[in-house]
């Protein structure tokens, strides 16, 4: 059995990172083969200390990782929070007014007021989700960049991953061998 490697790269901005991930996906890499550095809390808990620069972590296979969440997915989550809470509020209000024998005008008014309030709560929660994601990315950029790993199945995938990462403005692109337990 041949040794299994992964490609490593650091990006200086989210746009190039997203472009590289999109190209990796279009080139046959599964999302499960692509990972990013986990949040600072997970890193500190796992390693027992905080890192100063991503270069310290590039080849450390013990470093906690996470799946990449695109800005589109964050937008979807924000929309679901806003719409979902608006919907739940409106339906609850409609049910209460109808059950009490209210008029159509009362049903519509209650749905608008309570649904709107639910939508406002959803918008506040959506803002927190977006801010948390932005803070996660900015924290890594402040420590040297966005660290990306790509599991490669064989030498051809290894070469393809390195080429894609370099083409998308990554720096410190290299590969390292994975320990047998990581394969």
39 lies in the same domain as 86: no
Question: Which of 12-21, 85-94, 131-140, 156-165 comes out lowest in average pLDDT?
Answer: 85-94
67 lies in the same domain as 19: yes
- Confidence class of residue 181 from pLDDT cuts 50, 70 and 90? low
pTM over 0.95: no
> In CATH, what number is assigned to the domain containing residue 44?
3.30.70
pLDDT in tens, 82-100: 566 555 555 665 666 667 7
β-sheet bridge partners, residue 175: 7
87 lies in the same domain as 129: yes
9 lies in the same domain as 65: yes
10 lies in the same domain as 66: yes
Structural domain including 39 reads: 5-71+143-182
pLDDT in tens, 47-78: 777 777 888 888 988 888 887 765 665 556 55
25: CB partners within 8 A, 6+ apart: 31, 34
16 lies in the same domain as 45: yes
Answer yes or no: is pLDDT of 163 > 50: yes
Answer yes or no: is pLDDT of 182 > 60: no
- pLDDT for res 12: 95
Q: Of residues 80 and 40, which shows the higher confidence score?
A: 40
Q: Is the distance from CB of 140 to CB of 147 less than 8 angstroms?
A: yes
Question: Which of 7-16, 83-92, 152-161 comes out lowest in average pLDDT?
Answer: 83-92
66 lies in the same domain as 147: yes
Residue with tokens 């309030």: 117
Q: To the nearest whole percent, how much of the chain has pLDDT over 70?
A: 62
- pLDDT for res 116: 63
Count of structural domains, the chain? 2
27: CB partners within 8 A, 6+ apart: 160, 164
Q: Of residues 6 and 115, which shows the higher confidence score?
A: 6
Q: How far apart are CA 144 and CA 104, in angstroms?
A: 59
153 lies in the same domain as 64: yes
Answer yes or no: is pLDDT of 169 > 60: yes
170 lies in the same domain as 88: no
CB count, 10 Å around CB of 107? Answer: 17
31 lies in the same domain as 51: yes
47 lies in the same domain as 82: no
């Amino acid at each position: 059995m041949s040794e299994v490697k992964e490609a490593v790269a650091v990006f200086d901005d989210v746009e190039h990172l997203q472009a590289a991930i999109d190209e990796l996906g279009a080139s046959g890499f599964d999302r499960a083969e692509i990972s990013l550095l986990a949040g600072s809390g997970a890193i500190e808990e796992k390693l027992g200390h905080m890192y100063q620069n991503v270069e310290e972590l590039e080849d450390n296979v013990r470093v906690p990782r996470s799946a990449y969440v695109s800005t589109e997915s964050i937008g979807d989550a924000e929309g679901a929070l806003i719409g979902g809470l608006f919907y739940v509020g409106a339906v609850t209000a409609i049910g209460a007014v109808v059950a009490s024998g209210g008029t159509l005008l009362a049903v519509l008014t209650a749905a608008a007021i309570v649904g709107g309030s639910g939508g406002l709560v959803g918008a506040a929660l959506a803002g927190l989700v977006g801010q948390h994601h932005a803070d996660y990315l900015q924290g890594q950029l402040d420590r040297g960049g966005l660290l990306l790993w790509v599991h490669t199945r064989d030498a051809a995938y290894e070469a393809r991953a390195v080429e894609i990462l370099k083409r998308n403005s990554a720096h410190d692109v290299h590969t390292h061998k994975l320990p047998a337990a990581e394969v």
